[in-house]
Amino acid sequence: MPVKKLNPVTPGTRFRVANTFSELTKKTTPEKSLLEGIGSTGGRNNQGRMTIRNVGGGHKRKYRVIDFKRDKDGINATVVSIEYDPNRTCYIALLAYADGEKRYIIAPQGIKVGQKIMSGTGAPIEVGNALVLSEIPLGSSIYNIELHPGQGGILVRSAGSTATLMGKEERYASVKMPSGEVRRLLMTCKATIGATSNPDHNLQSVGKAGRNRWMGWRPRVRGVAMNPVDHPMGGGEGRATGGLPRSRNGQFAKGQKTRSPNKQSDKMIISRRKIKTS
C-alpha cells in the first residue's frame, strides 16, 4: 500500500498518514545539472508588504528544472531514476537520452527504471511517450497537456490526475479534464500518454501543525474567530456562525461565479465542470 498509518508513539504521529515512497529509486541526491536556486518571499511583494497571508518559513528547497515541452523528438531516452520533488505533488523521472543529455519529466503511473521513452511524431502509443493530440487514439488517458502549441504542458500535472481524449473534429480535439469540463484544444498541442504518478497523495494526513510549518505554511485563523473589524464573519455573542461564508474582502466563498463572463477562451469550452452540490 502506498500510504502507511503510523503508530501513535508521539502526539504528532497519532493522526499521521504518511507516504511510503515505495515507487522511488533508492537515491540520495538529485541531478546537479538540473537544479536551480529558488527563493522565498514569505508572502511579501517587492515593497515588503504582505500580499498573501499564512505563508512563510519552511525548509530550504532546490528547484528541479522540468521538461514540460518534451521537444526532444525522435531520440530514445532511458528512465534512470524516479525521484521526489518538493515543489510538486507528483513524482519526477530522470531521463538519459541517447545523445547524453539528461532531463526531468513528470513521472506517469507505472513507469519503471530502465524503460525506454520517446516523444514526437511516430512515437509508440505507450505510457510516458509524448505526441501531438492528432496522433493519440480516442479514449486515451493523457496528462501534461499544452494549451497552445509549443507552450509546454500546463494542464493536468498534479498527483494522480488524468484527462481523456474524447473526440477529434477539423483542427480541434475534445478533451475531458479531471474536473469534468470538456474543452477543445488544437490538435497540434502535445500531450503525454498515461496518468500522473503518486495517486494516493490525497490520502496523506500531515498529523501536526509543525509539519505544515516545515512546508512553508503559517497558522490560519478562522474568520468567525476574529473581531468584526478584522473579518466580515467576525464578532457576535458566543459561537456565532458568521453568516454566509466569505473572504476577508467580502467575496462569497461558496456558489459565486468568479470567472470573467467575457473571457476569450469560453468559446473553447464545450461543457462546464460539474458543480458540487454538497
pLDDT grade, residue 278 (50/70/90)? low
C-alpha cell at 43: 508572502
Average the pLDDT over 71-78 and give the result: 96
Q: Which domain holds residue 67?
A: 24-197
Residue 234 belongs to domain with CATH number: 4.10.950.10
Q: Which three cell numbers stand for residue 178?
A: 479531471
Q: Looking at the structure, do residues 245 and 149 belong to the same domain, yes or no?
A: no
pLDDT (0 to 100) of residue 255: 82
One domain for residues 229 and 123: no
Is residue 144 assigned to a domain? yes
Q: pLDDT by residue (tens digit) across 45-72?
A: 999 999 999 999 999 999 999 999 999 9
Verify that 105 and 152 share a domain, yes or no.
yes
Give the pLDDT score at 275. Answer: 72
Q: What is the pLDDT of residue 277?
A: 59
Residue 53 pLDDT: 94
Contacts of 33 (CB under 8 A, 6+ apart): 102
**Is the pLDDT at 119 greater than 60, yes or no?**
yes
Question: Quick check: 35 pLDDT over 70?
Answer: yes
Are 1 and 17 contacting, i.e. CB atoms less than 8 angstroms apart? no
192 and 59, same structural domain? yes
Using CA atoms, how far apart are residues 58 and 56, in angstroms rounded to an integer? 6
Domain count of the chain? 2
Whether residue 162 has pLDDT greater than 80 = yes
d(C-alpha 250, C-alpha 257), whole Å: 14
Q: Confirm if 103 and 119 have CB atoms less than 8 A apart.
A: no
The percent of residues in the chain predicted with pLDDT above 90, rounded, is 91
pLDDT at 276 over 80: no
Kindly state the cell numbers that stand for 6.
503510523
Tell me, yes or no, whether 92 lies in a domain.
Answer: yes
At residue 271, the pLDDT reads 93
Say if CB 74 and CB 236 are below 8 A apart: no
pLDDT band at residue 199, thresholds of 50, 70 and 90?
A: very high
Do 158 and 244 lie in a common domain? no
122 & 166 share domain? yes
Alpha carbon distance 81, 24 (integer Å): 8
Q: Tell me how far apart the alpha carbons of residues 136 and 143 are, in angstroms, rounded to a whole number.
A: 12
Has residue 1 got a pLDDT over 80? no
Q: Indicate the pTM of the whole model.
A: 0.92
Q: Is residue 16 part of a domain?
A: no
Q: In terms of C-beta density within 10 A (0-12 exposed, 13-18 middle, 19 or more buried), how is residue 206 classed?
A: middle
The pLDDT of residue 88 is above 60? yes
The confidence score (pLDDT) of residue 273 equals 85
Report the pLDDT averaged over residues 81-86: 96
Is there a single domain that holds both residue 165 and residue 246?
Answer: no
User: Which of 157, 179, 197 finishes a domain?
Assistant: 197
For 224-248, write each residue's pLDDT tens digit.
999 999 999 999 999 999 999 999 9
C-alpha cell at 69: 515541452
